[in-house]
Structure 1
Amino acid sequence: MAREAVLDEELAARVELRRAVDDLREQEVRAGLRRRSRADRWAIGLALVASVVAVIAVVGWVRAERSYTDEDFRQAATERVEVLLSPDPRGAGQVRRILDGATGAFRDEFAQSADAYTRFVVSQGTIGRGVVDGAGVSARSGDRASVLVAATVVFTDGRDDSASPEPVQQFRLSVLVEPDDGRLKLAAVQYLP
């Protein structure tokens, strides 16, 4: 054990000596008595480069985390809700357009009820045109956003009878928008009373 204690003391003394030599060199450089060695300049240069790289990496990570703006989320919600609220019995691709703008649980649920949706739209025989009156991001978390949407659907029977008033239905929705394959899509839709 005495030998280990001696080795520990010697190691501590060497560390202390190295610090004292480094402090002495630094004081001499500050006083103008000595110039920094090449090794010192390389070490300082590498430290500066590493610091710059670290800052760039952090900035890139923060930007990647918030690569979508509130306007991107609002616009995506507006486009997807207008398609969702525009039933047309003549439009064979309506279900496909809705599914193309959906992701996650909402896409899965809608896909399972797509046939029932199509039958209902055809049985009603009316054409709806959904228009978003207003939309705003209510919350964000990473690359997901909750968007509140106010929309109006104007229904017609498909004839060009401008004398009859068109029935109107108003909706308030809360939708969850998130990226899927590089596009923002609806991940959840909730009708608000």
Structure 2
Amino acid sequence: MAQTHVDDASPSDEDGRAGTTRRGRVVVAAFGVVCLLLAGVCGVLLWQYRQASALESQQRDALAAARDTAMNLATVDHATAESDVRRVLAGATGEFHDDFASSAESFVSVVQDTEVTTVGQEADAAIESWDGDSGVVLVQVRSTVTNRVEPEEKSRVWRLRLTMDEVDGVYRTAALEYVA
């Protein structure tokens, strides 16, 4: 009897292994595509998060600067009027700076002559509009006022619209408008 050599692998087994190998490659390729898509989505989400964080930080800084300006305007003492004006000017830029600086001498004179003292109590602020590195902030500040003519303390509420511009990484008041 003649023995025939039979391969362990029959043609159907080779097709099966080839199919498994092909399926394995497809699964690996699909997994790679899914990983790339997830990495892309994560990259976009990270970029959006950083943009939102930067915007929030800018607005937070502008709100703080606007509150500071309002408190500086609402806190003036006849004994320290000149340094109070310098403090306001330090947070100012542009039109507001120029206007306030040009009237500073007469402002100090009136404050000293009438012995005015105003003390800012608290300031609330909100963004009205925002465009890049500048925006408009609404501020309401409460203060108490006394002067030589009316020595009894009176409460005042000021409502202001301040345009805040970023100058050398710091927000400064570029325009100020009193709101009724």
Q: Which position in structure 1 is the counterpart of 2:113?
A: 123
Matches within 5 A, 1:31-50: none
Distance 2:76 2:65 in 1: 19
Matches within 5 A, 1:44-193: 68-70=58-60, 72-91=61-80, 92-157=82-147, 165-193=152-180
Distance 1:192 1:93 in 2: 26
SS at 1:113 equivalent: helix
User: Deviating runs (4+, > 6 A) in structure 1?
Assistant: 55-66
* Structural RMSD (CA): 3.7
Q: Which amino acid aligns with 2:174?
A: A
Q: Which position in structure 1 is the counterpart of 2:15?
A: none
User: Is there any run of 5+ residues in structure 1 with no aligned partner, and where?
Assistant: 1-50, 159-163
Query: Alpha-carbon deviation of 1:63?
Result: 7.4
User: Is there any run of 5+ residues in structure 2 with no aligned partner, and where?
Assistant: 1-39
Query: Alpha-carbon deviation of 1:116?
Result: 1.0
Q: Which amino acid aligns with 2:71?
A: E
Q: Structure 1 residues 137 and 60 mapped into 2: Cα distance closer, same or farther (>3 Å)?
A: closer
TM-score w.r.t. the length of structure 1 is: 0.61
Can you list the C-alpha shifts for 1:53-88, whole angstroms capped at 9, x where unaligned?
A: xx8999988977776134x22111111110012121
TM-score w.r.t. the length of structure 2 is: 0.65
CA contact (8 A) 1:67 1:143 kept: no
SS at 1:122 equivalent: helix
Distance 1:95 1:142 in 2: 29
Distance 2:124 2:57 in 1: 23
SS at 1:75 equivalent: helix
Question: Percent of counterpart pairs with the same letter?
Answer: 29
CA contact (8 A) 2:140 2:160 kept: yes
